[in-house]
Structures are given as structure tokens and as C-alpha cells.
Amino acid sequence: MTQKTKNLLRLILLFLISRLIIYALGIHFNTTPLTWYFQYLDPIDLRLHLFQSLFYLHSQPPGFNLFLGLVLNVVPGYEVMIFHITYITMGLIVTLILFMVLTKFNISPSVAFSICLFFAVSPPVILYENWLFYTYPVFFLLLLSAFFLYKFIENSRMSYVFFFFVSCALIVLTRTLFQAIWFLFIFIGLLFFNRRNAKKIFLAALVPFVFIAFFYIKNYVIFKEASLSSWLGMNLIKMTFTIPQSTLQSAVERGEVSEIALIKPFRDPEVYREYANFDTITGIPALDKEYKSTGAINFNHVSYISISRMYYTAAIFLIKKFPWYYGFSIIKAFYTYLQPCSSFQESPNTEKLKVWTHIYEYYVLGNILEKIWTTTYTNRFNQQRKIHVNFLFIFIPIIYAWGIVLAIRGKKLFGFTESQALLIKYMMFNILYTMFIGNFIEAGENMRFRFLIVPFIYILIALFIKHIISRKT
């Protein structure tokens, strides 16, 4: 048995032991989002009208709600257990793929083992793994797609490139950050860098792309929305929150922008009754209910489409009229992006993991710097926010710059194989895509965008350390 295989088996064993310890500490899978999160259909509709509700879902891509509905229908009464097992399985696979990718870059098995073990027990991974949300599945699918891409470039097997594009399609059909244009950029890029396999690439991408196109066409025909989510306006208006209340009020009074711009998005129907008709009857429960059976707002109500369009019109006008405030919102978004990925969750699990999370955020990621400098900011809704920097403000730009160098010059400067070089390019494309697209259209939970590409960051860190050590020896 090789050292690599031994470390792989040890990693599996220690991962499973760590999950037993985590459970014993009282960190259990959090399924409360199912009852009230904006992104989820009513659990009753998921059980009784699953495919009808998915067909008329306009607020989100259908992937994650399909997963929820299938579990609720196939194993009623055992949902929590199945959700938890699924997420733990994804966590184990991600850890093992990370180990294999690191060794593919000639990182020693013992070093790769240590990196992956720390990764597996880091607070963000533990917290997201125990949270019923689509962030962790997309995190899993991104690394899985990278693995299939590497294997395809390595041996040109059709099955690998097909599963690569299936993974990419599942990402698009799960997370609104990744639109069809993202899929097409990857398809074109792979054709460009691997022209000898153009036919295989085209055929492998065809069926996954047809599935994506179907949902785009469906949304356009039914809702006149050329997207997998009707919420762009409600998200984009957040990028105008830096405009002072008095300035915004003046624009409203002059009739330049709708007074809806004064209202925070994602509010209940009563707030919007003067802007849209919530009494429309389509006969589709997922479109007609103002509130879910749980009492939470149904943001898939058909009237939220027009509400979001009004927000979009207001946001575009305000961004064009006050570009400097939009720039300030981008700065705020990047500030949030550089906060610890574990810092945004508030749940019982957060409290139970607070000691390890505090050590990780305070000393590893550098929140200790708040002792040197901190200040506060009050937004136009009179919400006070604390501002301070951490090690990530220095570390992330360096690692991303390093990744760009590897992507552009990896083969020449470091002797990368074709598969290694293309994998780095794919990683950096996703890192830059999630960073820029996410931070230019939304300010809120931007650290979640960075969590999606955390395994890629670990790979870049390992290569950076290996390069530094090799230069000294």
C-alpha cells in the first residue's frame, strides 16, 4: 500500500470520527431554513405539487427545490437524517478530491493530508455542512467539476467531460450567481484550450446546455424573465443603500425615481399593495399564496416579478445618477467578501462552535487586528455596523495574484502539465467570476461567495508554500 493510499484511508477515518465528535458536541443539522427561507417553496407545495411548483418557480433556479421536494416525498419522516447524510457525504468527497488534486500537483501526501484535515474541521466547513442551504452543494459541485475537468484533460475520456458539464449545469440550475453565460464561457474556453477534443466537448456539453436552455425559455415564455431568477431588481437595489436618505428622497420628490426605492426589498405583500396586485388568481398555489403554510412570505408570488422590475428600474437609474455611491457599495461588498466565511451564520450551531470559531477567526484569519483599529458605520436605515480589517485583506489579494500568475505562466515558469495548467485556469476563472459578479450586484452576505471557492484557495496556498520552500532549498 502506497503512502498516498494510507493517507487517503486515514483521512476518511479521521473525517468520520470528526463528524461523530461534532455531533456529540451538539452541532446538529439545521433544517429550520426549510420553513421560512425566501428561496424555498412552501413545504406543502413541495410535497403535494412538486413538479407543478417547480415548473412555475420564477424566483430561483429549480435545482435545490427539486432536491428538497424529492427528499420530502421519497423518505417522509426521515428528511433530517437524509439531508444530514447527504451533506456529510458531500463534505467527505470534497475532502478526498482536495487531497487527490493536491497530490496531482506533487504536494507530498503527508502535507496534503495535513491541509485536508485542517480544511475538513475548519469552522466554515462544519457550519455550512450542517446548514440546509444551497451554498454547500454548489461548493461541492464546483470542486467536483474541477476534478472531472482534470481527469478529462489527463486522459480525454468522454465520460469525464460529460460529467464535468453535468456538474456545471447543476451549478447553474442551483445558484443564481452562475448564469448560462458562465456555462458558455467555460464551454468556449475549454474548446479554445483543448481543440483536439472539440467534438467530444461539444457533444458532452449539448444535453446539459439543453436543460439549462429549457428553463430559460420556460421563464421567458411564462413570466417574460430571461433569467433563472426574477429577483435581480430586489438584489440590485441593495447597491443603492449607500445613497443618503435626503438625497434619495429629493430624487423621489422630483419624480426621477419611484418611491419604491425608499423601501427595503423583500418585504411582505402589505408593504407593496400600492405597487402591485396581490389578489391575482392563477390557480397555481406556488404563484397565488401570499404566505406559505408555515407563515413565511411566499416570494414566488407572481406579483413579486413586477415588484422586482420596479426595483431594477430604480436601481439602474440611481446607479447611473450616483455612480460614486454605487462605487461605495462595491467597496462595502468587497469588505464583506473579505470577512470570515463563518461569520455570517447565526444559528444554534454557531453558539456551540463559538470557541473554535473564535480561535479560527481571531488568530488564523486575523480578526485580532480589531484591537489595533476599528470603527463604526451607520447606514441610512440607522443600522450600525462595526468595521475592522483582518489578515484576509492582505492575504487574499496576494493569493489571487499568485493564482493569476500560475494561470498565465504556469506551464512555462513551473513546468505544469496540460491538465495542471487548465485546472488552474478553471479555478482562477471561477475565483474571479464569483468575486466580481457577486460584489458588483449584491452587498450583504458576500463572504458566502468566497466560501464557494475555498477549496481552490487551499490549492493555491499549498502551491505558494511549495514554491517558497523550493526556492529556499
Greater confidence (171 vs 388) lies with 171
Which range among 101-110, 374-383, 456-465 shows the weakest confidence by mean pLDDT?
374-383
pLDDT band at 279 (very low <50, low <70, confident <90, very high): confident
Query: Is residue 229 within 8 Å of 299, Cβ to Cβ?
Result: no
Q: How confident is the model at residue 309 (pLDDT cuts 50, 70, 90)?
A: very high
On the question of pLDDT at 251 being above 70, the answer is yes
The per-residue pLDDT for range 349-363, each reduced to its tens digit, is 999 999 999 999 999
Give the distance between the most distant pair of CA atoms in the chain: 76
Mean pLDDT of the chain: 94
User: Which pLDDT score, from 0 to 100, does residue 405 have?
Assistant: 96
**For residue range 185-238, what is the model confidence (pLDDT) as tens digits?**
999 999 999 999 999 999 999 999 999 999 999 999 999 999 999 999 999 999
Cα dist from 66 to 58, 133, 182, whole Å: 13, 13, 22
**What was the pLDDT predicted at 381?**
64
Of the listed ranges 126-130, 323-327, 339-343, 453-457, the one predicted with least confidence? 339-343
pLDDT at 101 over 70: yes
Instruction: Please report which confidence band the pLDDT of residue 473 belongs to, taking 50, 70 and 90 as the band edges.
Output: low
Quick check: 272 pLDDT over 90? yes
**pLDDT confidence band for 50 (50 / 70 / 90):** very high
Q: What is the pLDDT of residue 345?
A: 67
Q: Is the dihedral of CA 90, 91, 93, 98 positive or negative?
A: positive
End-to-end Cα, the chain, rounded Å: 30
| Whether residue 164 has pLDDT greater than 70 | yes
pLDDT of 380: 63
What pLDDT is stored for residue 70 in this prediction? 97
Q: Is the pTM of this model over 0.85?
A: yes
